[in-house]
């Protein structure tokens, strides 16, 4: 008996040493030898954890459930709770939320009535994670995070304190306190990479929270620094799944930075890894691939991917933008409202994509009063969260509404601000889109030289990025600007007092173009075209139902058709 006890202890120590070194296969072999000698809850627990990190899910669940059973039979409530929490975490990662919740409830039952224990800290962390990521309940998540931090300090557990700080930090970023949230996340990540932490669950959660916070706020510099350190940690622990998840998150930042080739490489590598180890998480990559495809102008391919993930919030916004491009503002508006119903008001950063889409759809439908209310919401968020990407979106949104309501010089200034803010945020694609709006507005203000310069700059950026659809849009605008000088309008201008733009609109009327066609060709809103037509009719003295035909006759006499 004494010999077998020593033999078990030797195997268990060997397994624990291999586990600490992330030598998973050696750890599994040692724990299995230990179990051949003596069936203990501790050995089953460690075997379950080691096989999980080897991505052997069936073996992990079998071992962890055996460990739980033995802890429960021995009335070891802390051990039973700890193992139940582990099982909850594993089931949650596989998307089995109901089963995960059941295990969390078992853990809670075991811990009820006990004094403070480290296991209670772990329970708070998992419950806080579910509150934040599942229910979007930042208040509950922060309360649980703070309790877990206190327990981490009390029991000198760097793992619990680290994850608690990360959870609190991400919750702060979500509610808009970006500076304080990032401070918490930086400290938590430092604990993880400085080898204070040992628990891979906690390290994984901390790394993912931090990259996710950077992804939400487009904090490229911070993401670059921590992504590099995260890769080092993953290599140290042979943690392929975390590498894949972080690579997919990081790819979103690369897309924003215009580093599309690198983003594609990261996403393809991440997808291959995830398909091997966690196939249920493949959509985590696919949604980002679809975002990249839309920006590349591969709209049909992007739409096919988005439709496979119909209920994903990102899919709703992106499909709404495609609907707007295809002249369907009603669908865009419905998708914006659907998105906003999914996002709580306590998550202002995540509200912005839906509000932006809603504003664009309202402008396209001529609902300017409603658009003004939506713009007010965007500006309120930008005032509270004053970071460059948010300020850029607010300026762009204000410019779109100003342009649609004929406040042309205000729109010019707002588009200029959007270009500046997007450039500061290192977001070249978005900056070029804002610059294209600016060029269109400068053309409207009869400033062709600046309009040409900005349109050309936008076109060059789109060409460099590989944004084929936007490059063609920039080219069409350039052609329109360059064509202005060749339109025979001088006689008409002198005779009637028409502006250059009004003469251009009248020329297109005389060519038989509809108002919609004129708007598309000149990159104007329907409302602006209608305003120009009304002014033209007044200046050339035509009225009534036959006004359009009379205007065509006037344009012909004035030589506008060449």
Instruction: Return the CATH number at 537.
Output: 1.10.10.10
Across 312-316, average pLDDT? 96
Angle at 76 between CA 74 and CA 80, to 5 degrees: 105
Collapsing DSSP to helix, strand or coil, 198 comes out as: coil
> Mean pLDDT for the chain?
91
> Which of the four pLDDT bands, split at 50, 70 and 90, describes residue 484?
low
Question: Are residues 535 and 450 both part of a single domain?
Answer: no
Question: Are residues 503 and 470 both part of a single domain?
Answer: no
Across 53-72, average pLDDT? 95
How high is the pLDDT of residue 230?
A: 78
Angle between helices 118-129 and 200-217 (to 10 degrees): 30
Question: Are residues 436 and 502 both part of a single domain?
Answer: no
Between 23-32, 60-69, 204-213, 413-422, the lowest mean confidence (pLDDT) is in 204-213
Query: Does position 25 have pLDDT exceeding 70, yes or no?
Result: yes
Residue 47 lies in a domain: no
Question: Are residues 512 and 441 both part of a single domain?
Answer: no
Residue 24 lies in a domain: no
Question: Are residues 481 and 514 both part of a single domain?
Answer: no
- Judge whether 142 and 168 are in contact, CB under 8 Å: yes
Task: Give just the sign of the alpha carbon dihedral 487, 490, 496, 500.
Answer: positive
Residue 553 lies in a domain: yes
Question: Are residues 390 and 480 both part of a single domain?
Answer: yes
Domain that holds residue 505: 490-558
Residue 431 lies in a domain: yes
* Total number of domains in the chain: 3
Q: Two tokens at 284?
A: 């985590």
Question: Are residues 474 and 548 both part of a single domain?
Answer: no
Residue 362 lies in a domain: no
Angle at 157 between CA 153 and CA 162, to 5 degrees: 85
Residue 307 lies in a domain: no
What is d(CA 281, CA 94) in angstroms, rounded to the nearest whole number? 8
**What percent of the chain has pLDDT above 90?**
66
Question: Are residues 434 and 516 both part of a single domain?
Answer: no
Taking residue 520's Cβ as centre, other Cβ atoms within 10 Å add up to 15
How high is the pLDDT of residue 203?
A: 85
Collapsing DSSP to helix, strand or coil, 2 comes out as: helix
- Judge whether 200 and 162 are in contact, CB under 8 Å: no
- Judge whether 346 and 374 are in contact, CB under 8 Å: no
How high is the pLDDT of residue 485?
A: 47
Question: Are residues 193 and 154 both part of a single domain?
Answer: yes
Query: Does position 429 have pLDDT exceeding 70, yes or no?
Result: yes
Across 6-15, average pLDDT? 94
> Which of the four pLDDT bands, split at 50, 70 and 90, describes residue 95?
confident
Between 203-212, 311-320, 480-489, the lowest mean confidence (pLDDT) is in 480-489
What is d(CA 163, CA 240) in angstroms, rounded to the nearest whole number? 20
Question: Are residues 464 and 535 both part of a single domain?
Answer: no
How high is the pLDDT of residue 494?
A: 53
Query: Does position 489 have pLDDT exceeding 60, yes or no?
Result: no
* Domain edge (last residue) among 466, 486, 506: 486
Question: Are residues 471 and 549 both part of a single domain?
Answer: no
Residue 552 lies in a domain: yes
For the stretch 452-465, pLDDT in tens is 999 999 999 999 99
Residue 504 lies in a domain: yes
> Which of the four pLDDT bands, split at 50, 70 and 90, describes residue 496?
low
> Which of the four pLDDT bands, split at 50, 70 and 90, describes residue 495?
low
CATH code of the domain in which 458 resides: 1.25.40.10
Question: Are residues 469 and 550 both part of a single domain?
Answer: no
* Domain edge (last residue) among 188, 221, 238: 238
* Domain edge (last residue) among 215, 238, 261: 238
């Amino acid at each position: 008996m004494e010999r077998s006890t020593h033999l078990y202890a030797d195997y268990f120590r060997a397994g624990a040493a291999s586990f600490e070194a992330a030598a998973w296969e050696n750890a599994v072999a040692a724990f299995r030898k230990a179990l051949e000698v003596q069936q203990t809850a501790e050995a089953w627990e460690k075997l379950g954890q080691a096989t999980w990190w080897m991505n052997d899910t069936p073996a992990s669940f079998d071992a962890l459930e055996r460990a739980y059973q033995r802890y429960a039979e021995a009335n070891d409530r802390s051990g039973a709770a700890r193992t139940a929490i582990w099982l909850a975490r594993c089931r949650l990662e596989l998307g089995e939320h109901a089963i995960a919740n059941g295990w969390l409830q078992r853990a809670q039952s075991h811990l009820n009535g006990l004094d403070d224990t480290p296991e209670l800290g772990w329970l708070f962390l998992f419950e806080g994670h579910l509150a934040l990521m599942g229910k979007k309940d930042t208040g509950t998540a922060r309360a649980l995070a703070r309790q877990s931090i206190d327990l981490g300090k009390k029991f000198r557990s760097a793992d619990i304190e680290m994850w608690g700080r990360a959870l609190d930090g991400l919750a702060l970023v979500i509610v808009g306190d970006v500076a304080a949230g990032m401070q918490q996340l930086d400290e938590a990540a430092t604990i993880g990479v400085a080898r204070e932490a040992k628990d891979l669950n906690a390290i994984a959660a901390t790394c993912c929270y931090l990259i996710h916070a950077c992804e939400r706020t487009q904090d490229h510099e911070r993401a670059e620094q921590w992504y590099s350190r995260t890769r080092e940690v993953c290599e140290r622990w042979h943690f392929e799944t975390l590498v894949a998840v972080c690579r997919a998150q990081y790819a979103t930042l690369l897309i924003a930075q215009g580093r599309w080739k690198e983003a594609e490489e990261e996403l393809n590598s991440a997808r291959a890894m995830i398909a091997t180890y966690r196939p249920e998480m493949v959509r985590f990559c696919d949604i980002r691939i679809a975002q990249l495809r839309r920006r590349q102008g591969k709209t049909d391919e992007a739409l096919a991917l988005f439709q496979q993930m119909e209920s994903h919030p990102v899919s709703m916004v992106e499909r709404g933008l495609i609907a707007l491009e295809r002249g369907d503002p009603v669908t865009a508006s419905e998708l914006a409202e659907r998105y906003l119903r999914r996002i709580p008001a306590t998550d202002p950063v995540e509200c912005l994509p839906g509000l932006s889409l809603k504003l664009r759809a309202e402008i396209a439908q001529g609902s300017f009063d409603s658009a003004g209310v939506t713009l007010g919401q965007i500006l309120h968020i930008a005032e509270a969260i004053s970071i460059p990407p948010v300020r850029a979106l607010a300026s762009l949104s204000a410019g779109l509404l100003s342009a649609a309501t004929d406040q042309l010089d205000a729109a010019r200034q707002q588009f200029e601000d959007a270009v500046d803010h997007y450039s500061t945020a290192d977001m070249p694609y978005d900056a070029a889109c804002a610059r294209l709006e600016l060029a269109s507005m400068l053309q409207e203000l009869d400033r062709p030289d600046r309009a040409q310069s900005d349109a050309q700059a936008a076109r060059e950026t789109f060409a460099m990025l590989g944004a084929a659809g936007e490059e063609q849009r920039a080219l069409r605008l350039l052609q329109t600007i360059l064509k202005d000088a060749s339109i025979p309008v001088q006689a008409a201008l002198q005779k009637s007092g028409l502006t250059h733009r009004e003469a251009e609109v009248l020329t297109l009327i005389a060519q038989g173009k509809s108002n919609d066609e004129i708007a598309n060709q000149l990159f104007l809103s329907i409302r602006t075209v209608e305003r120009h037509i009304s002014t033209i009719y007044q200046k050339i003295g035509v009225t009534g139902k036959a006004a359009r035909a009379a205007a065509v006759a006037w344009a012909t006499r004035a030589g506008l058709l060449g």
